[in-house]
Structure 1
């Protein structure tokens, strides 16, 4: 609990107020919340290959599985826009427990109603997207607790909470096939409930936080007009969107392209996620020291090469593994660098709104590729076209980074 300190009022009397919480404690609790909610958000992805061949809902096509794992991503992405603006208004101390508690409902719905019907799986997956909105809660919350020179690292550490998808990948299939189909959902719901209570008790908004004035719509429109908003949206759609796309679709891809078992594919996806998660705070830390632009440019350059190599479907051992892990590192560091850029360019009172828009773009960037990959593979029996498109997209984003985004960042520095 926070310590107490005495403050002498104007009349000489003493009043007792709570001393501020440690920024690092707030960062730790927020990161745990992000990880727990992302764990819930990613529950359906590891089960995708099983639903295709062994599930209780009947045999699903590749496109059916792609849609199933992409729906939570879509809702979690679009939902970040209002959630980010609401966080600016009400603070993370309220929004973290509220979003965590709300996510429990679709998790339990899937456990008790969704596992026997594809339609109900889609309904549960739709509302499961609520868990994905916690990103737009945590970035403005953490940003307000740290000085500008440490925000890249702090937001990068918070962003490592996306490793909740790795927890899901490592545990969901084993629990589903072992103790019972409902177990992974019931376990996640219980942990969400514990976190909702703990965050309500422990979290505090940063001292001096000033809620913005104006209506939600007015603030969203003003935020959308900022040049950095649309630029960061593109950067994050490729960086974090690429990460999300691989994290939800990689198990199906590896099982189909390389004939791996569902468990082996999920474990390899967890390795991809682990590398990306570890590199996200590294990207923020490097951005604090070198600037976000060089970190972003290097990351997109690696994705250009890695996706081009993967498009040839090389041997998974060595060449294929190196290509995917290199892309994981690049996408993770690029995700961290994007919000280091936002923290550097955007005034604190607007960070939540910008984060909502940018986070939505990142999630949408992860929603589209699985659908394209599933559609193209269903008609060509090849993933090369989809991976080739990723390489071209990364190349165009690299060009944007070195020109327009660099100019915006330089102007922001000159104005301060």
Structure 2
């Protein structure tokens, strides 16, 4: 039985032991998972707050910022959230998942209360809005620490489901805050902007209490900072980073940009934009666990290749919709693209632990003990998960910067979606070439670089 002699610290944890898992591990892991989802959800909502508040920054409310400035604002929020993901991942082994979740949620009270004040002050200089947006980016770091923490709790055979559910529950915070924005605009018009962040103050307090009451710290969760440097020498890190930039980067980037696109490309009012923007992020978030589940069943690489191909098709349809000024086609294709980003998020994230599970198996075949092989590869996988999560969030920054440059150069989003289409095709080819086709033997590889079987093989039960 896992002991908790130091309050909420657990010092024995072996989810791969099926007896341990059935007796007590599953119950404890799932309790931590549900609490983690709630806390991460609120963190994601705060991170996405300015994607909604920019809809209130209209000339009618005294704001005169350009479309390019607004895209720069949401890009800044996204960038800070991405940059914090590495230190946030490191914080879980250092302080414990429960302890860090409480602290990281509590600090979000500051940017949330400040946003409620500043959205009422249109005379505020733009640089101060950028600074405040950067503080809201703290919520983006919560994703990495939450995912790293939950990955320690679950056995390999259930990681796809657990990570997909945890990430999807957090990701849907993008849609939730947009629904809050829609309700505020509908009930209080554009004068109700301060109410959007104020809604999240009691929710943040609730998340702090839930984390304190239901979560645990794992004494066995250890990842040395040097493991991150080692991870960057692994070719799988760079390949999977590229794939996650294209899936999660697209999801968070489009989630931040959707309302601005409707206003700038199709001249929608704030109410019209807010009534639609929640749909895409909601679909993408809800489908992320499906992507993880499909990867568990059929293999992450196979699902990911198909997803990228479909994303390229959706981008092509969006280009046609912009060219023909067809809002219904644009909305339909964009919604499909959001769905595909969700599925791709789940399948690519599942590929990462699958790669390192295969490496652990190969190490055991070379005579290394099961405990040592699993520990070594789990620590490497945890490091890679955190780093890739950070790089993927940087993709969201890139999405919004591409939109900014696209509007600055041509006044339209057409060049941006052309870039995205090419990018998705490149990712499909890379995934197929590296992980789907039969790998070539590499007999000279060192034990810690033993080539893993493809995720398509390792993720199939």
TM-score, normalised to structure 2, is 0.80
* Cα contact 2:403–2:416 (8 A) shared by 1: yes
* Cα contact 2:116–2:194 (8 A) shared by 1: yes
Aligned to 1:391, which of 414, 421, 439? 421
Query: What do the CA deviations read for 1:232-268 (whole angstroms, capped 9, x no partner)?
Result: 1111101010111110111111122222221222232
User: Once the 2 structures are TM-superposed, how far is the Cα of residue 115 of structure 1 from its aligned partner?
Assistant: 4.3
Q: Equivalent residue for 2:54? A: 48
1:84-163 superposed matches below 5 A? 84-113=89-118, 115-116=120-121, 117=124, 118-160=126-168, 161-163=170-172
* Cα contact 1:49–1:65 (8 A) shared by 2: no
User: Once the 2 structures are TM-superposed, how far is the Cα of residue 200 of structure 1 from its aligned partner?
Assistant: 1.8
* Cα contact 1:278–1:332 (8 A) shared by 2: yes
Once residues 234 and 143 of structure 1 are traced to their aligned partners in structure 2, the CA distance between those partners, rounded to angstroms, is: 21
Once residues 23 and 91 of structure 1 are traced to their aligned partners in structure 2, the CA distance between those partners, rounded to angstroms, is: 14
Once residues 72 and 129 of structure 1 are traced to their aligned partners in structure 2, the CA distance between those partners, rounded to angstroms, is: 5
Query: What do the CA deviations read for 1:56-82 (whole angstroms, capped 9, x no partner)?
Result: 4x3011110001111111000010011
Q: Equivalent residue for 2:346? A: 336
Q: Equivalent residue for 2:404? A: 374
Compared CA separation, residues 227 and 52, structure 1 to 2 (3 A): farther
* Cα contact 1:63–1:374 (8 A) shared by 2: yes
Once residues 310 and 332 of structure 2 are traced to their aligned partners in structure 1, the CA distance between those partners, rounded to angstroms, is: 11
Aligned to 2:291, which of 283, 292, 299? 283
1:249-398 superposed matches below 5 A? 249-312=257-320, 313=322, 314=324, 316=326, 318-346=328-356, 347-398=377-428
Query: Helix, strand or coil for the counterpart of 1:59?
Result: coil
Query: Helix, strand or coil for the counterpart of 1:46?
Result: helix
Compared CA separation, residues 370 and 402, structure 1 to 2 (3 A): same
Gaps of at least 5 residues in structure 2 are 6-23, 357-376, 440-450
Matched, 1:59 2:64: yes
Once residues 255 and 324 of structure 1 are traced to their aligned partners in structure 2, the CA distance between those partners, rounded to angstroms, is: 15
Aligned CA RMSD, in angstroms, stands at: 2.4
* Cα contact 1:67–1:371 (8 A) shared by 2: yes
Once residues 3 and 90 of structure 1 are traced to their aligned partners in structure 2, the CA distance between those partners, rounded to angstroms, is: 18
Compared CA separation, residues 53 and 371, structure 1 to 2 (3 A): farther
Compared CA separation, residues 35 and 89, structure 1 to 2 (3 A): same
User: Once the 2 structures are TM-superposed, how far is the Cα of residue 315 of structure 1 from its aligned partner?
Assistant: 5.5
User: Once the 2 structures are TM-superposed, how far is the Cα of residue 173 of structure 1 from its aligned partner?
Assistant: 4.8
Once residues 100 and 154 of structure 1 are traced to their aligned partners in structure 2, the CA distance between those partners, rounded to angstroms, is: 21
Compared CA separation, residues 350 and 91, structure 1 to 2 (3 A): farther
* Cα contact 1:241–1:365 (8 A) shared by 2: yes
User: Once the 2 structures are TM-superposed, how far is the Cα of residue 180 of structure 1 from its aligned partner?
Assistant: 3.5
Of 75-84 and 181-190, the range deviating more from structure 2: 181-190
* Cα contact 1:113–1:120 (8 A) shared by 2: no
1:26-37 superposed matches below 5 A? 26-37=32-43
Once residues 88 and 378 of structure 1 are traced to their aligned partners in structure 2, the CA distance between those partners, rounded to angstroms, is: 44
Once residues 227 and 116 of structure 2 are traced to their aligned partners in structure 1, the CA distance between those partners, rounded to angstroms, is: 38
User: Once the 2 structures are TM-superposed, how far is the Cα of residue 329 of structure 1 from its aligned partner?
Assistant: 1.3
Matched, 1:198 2:198: no
Query: What do the CA deviations read for 1:128-174 (whole angstroms, capped 9, x no partner)?
Result: 11101111111122122221111101111111121001111111254
TM-score, normalised to structure 1, is 0.88
